[in-house]
Chains A and B, each alone.
Chain A
Amino acid sequence: MSLNITILGTKHTPHIEFDADHQRLSIVGDSYPENAGDTYFPVVEKLDVYFNDPGQFLRVELTIPFANTSSSKVLTDLFTKFQGLCDQGHKIELTWFYPYGDYDCRENGELLLEDVEFPYKMVELSE
């Protein structure tokens, strides 16, 4: 069974794409649902299965210009999960993209990623 999953974005939820075949997860768009747990659950479930195999690699690309508190919590929990996976020998490469000149978005990414030890990059999108 394929682990690939695409959750189409809406006005208040991001476009989420997990391509297990190409070891890539991308989340793009504003995120302010009332219950981010519901929004992200289907992909978190697939990620759990993906990381059942040892020594997995995942490239994570995030472009989330706006996140409400429910989403920020889900993302923080996801990053904590990623850290645990890295500690078990998996490899994660994460990039937090932020809109041109949007240092609030950059700061928010840094705050959510504050406790992780795996390498991540902050990348400013072009204008």
Chain B
Amino acid sequence: MNTSFDVHAIYSLMHDNHIQFSYKGPITQDVLISLGDTIKEKLHRDDCDAKVIRKVFSVLVEAAHNILKYSSEKTTVDTSNKSIGIGLIGIGKSAANVFVIFSGNLVRTDEAKKIAAKLDNINQLSREEINKLYQQQLKQGTLTADGSAGLGLFEVARKSDCPIDFSFTPVGDDLVFFEMKISVKVED
């Protein structure tokens, strides 16, 4: 491993952006559980409203499972031979009363186009319309073999207090880095 990288730069970036934690690697269920527990405990200690904690946790779960299932960078862990997506996930604050859950992972260019179309569509819908589509998909959709219900992004949008902030950065042949930031406001 090259050791010339700047730990202080990573520290400063996280500190200056009020990032409370961030993890990069295979997003296994175990990783999700420990990140979830850590953040729930921290928010609880900060006397955060239970409603907000649940929103933050829900977004974290859906974002983590998106990476686990859809990242085009994959690895296998332990002996199960199961393929696990690699990505970056974390939580920070963009203001005293706004939590930001962020995720980033590689996707193929054609996938990126589909995700962008879906998010562009979600972002121009009202809360009522999102809820309606969520309910419709809940009742009429089918669960895929990997356990996806096609509901993840709708759920994220239902819990978010702002449009979903997303972007794509080309990183090479047919691959783009997909990043998403989801804001959850603390109610007064």
Interface residues of A (CB under 8 A from B): 11-12, 32-38, 66, 68-70, 72-74, 76-77, 80, 102, 104, 111-112, 114-115
Contact = CB atoms under 8 A, between A and B. Distances in A.
B147 A34 contact: yes
Consensus secondary structure, chain A interface = helix
B13 interface: no
12 contacts: A11-B33, A12-B29, A34-B29, A34-B65, A34-B146, A35-B147, A37-B143, A66-B54, A66-B58, A76-B139, A104-B51, A114-B135
Interface residues of B, number: 28
Looking at A36, A70, A114, the one whose CB has the most chain B CB atoms below 10 A away is A70
Given A35-B146, A69-B149, A12 B139 contact: no
Interface of B: 29, 32-33, 37, 50-51, 54, 57-58, 61-62, 65, 68-69, 135, 138-139, 141, 143, 145-149, 151-152, 154-155
A52 B54 CA distance: 39
A74 B139 CA distance: 10
A114 B139 CA distance: 10
Contacts, number: 64
Given A76-B139, A104-B51, A32 B147 contact: no
B65 A66 contact: no
Looking at A12, A69, A112, the one whose CB has the most chain B CB atoms below 10 A away is A69
